Amino acid sequence: MFLERVLSSIVLVVVLAAALLLGGDILFLLCLFISVVAYREMAKATKVNDKKGDINALEIVGLLGIFGYYGVRFFSATETYVMLTIALTLIGLMSVYVFAFPKYHANQVMATAFSFLYGPIMLSYIYLTRNLEDGIYLVWLIFISSWICDTCAYLVGSAIGKHKMAPVLSPKKSVEGAIGGVAGAVLVGVLYGYVMVHFNLLELNNIWMIGVITGIGAVISQIGDLAASAIKRNFNIKDYGKLIPGHGGIMDRFDSVMFTAPMIYYLAVLLLNKTLY
């Protein structure tokens, strides 16, 4: 299991790194793919469809909404059309609910809307961050805030963790680990900023601003991790999927990334004055 987990992690990092470096259509298609998978995993977990191997009208509307949303993001950055796509998706779900009544329960409609908004919309900010000015360098802050934080939290928690952070939800997570995770993300963020400035790859008035961004992102990432765990506990499931051997599904591996991606995007816009191309 450990070897399987390590090997799949290496493959995942290589594929993701290549897509982030290349950007453009490659990253767009990768984000679309993982968004569709995340949507399906969450829809399955939240019981949108009780029939295994089948797909119902609610799920189809959600999928159409994802493709519509990503299409708008690809061809236009206008927020008016983005919000229109989201609104039409929600209206579409309610239309299915109304005209098929009482085939679908309100809980299924709300679960579908949540599945559409949670994974796909949040994950799209990886692509949007990459498309910012200097995005080829800034997009890595998403993963420093999430995966580096997660690694540091695990190491510190295993070494000195004593005080439980969420004893009912996640007994193994400690306050010490959480602090270590944030500190690790800040340190790596500052070092990353220093290297970028040293080699004239990124213009920054203060490299500590990168540490501030990754620190905030790290705090948010831990909330994302716990939120995904809470949903699994509510629905009594171990993993969201089996796509990534040793890790589970997209929702299992990208749960913290979903929270850090929009946070890093908006912090880069607000604190670093970066804009979309």
**pLDDT tens, residue by residue, 115-152:** 999 999 999 999 999 999 999 999 999 999 999 999 99
Select the more confidently predicted residue: 105 or 1: 105
Tell me, what's the pLDDT at 4? 79
pLDDT score of 246:
80
- Give residue 130's pLDDT: 97
The per-residue pLDDT for range 159-171, each reduced to its tens digit, is 998 999 988 898 8
216-244 residue pLDDT tens: 999 999 999 999 999 999 999 999 998 98
pLDDT at residue 9 in the model: 85
pLDDT grade for 1, boundaries at 50, 70 and 90: low
Residue tagged 């900023």 (tokens): 193
pLDDT of 77 higher than 80: no
Q: What is the mean pLDDT of residues 79-98?
A: 97
Give the count of alpha carbons within 13 A of 261, CB side only: 20
**What average pLDDT does the segment 18-22 reach?**
97
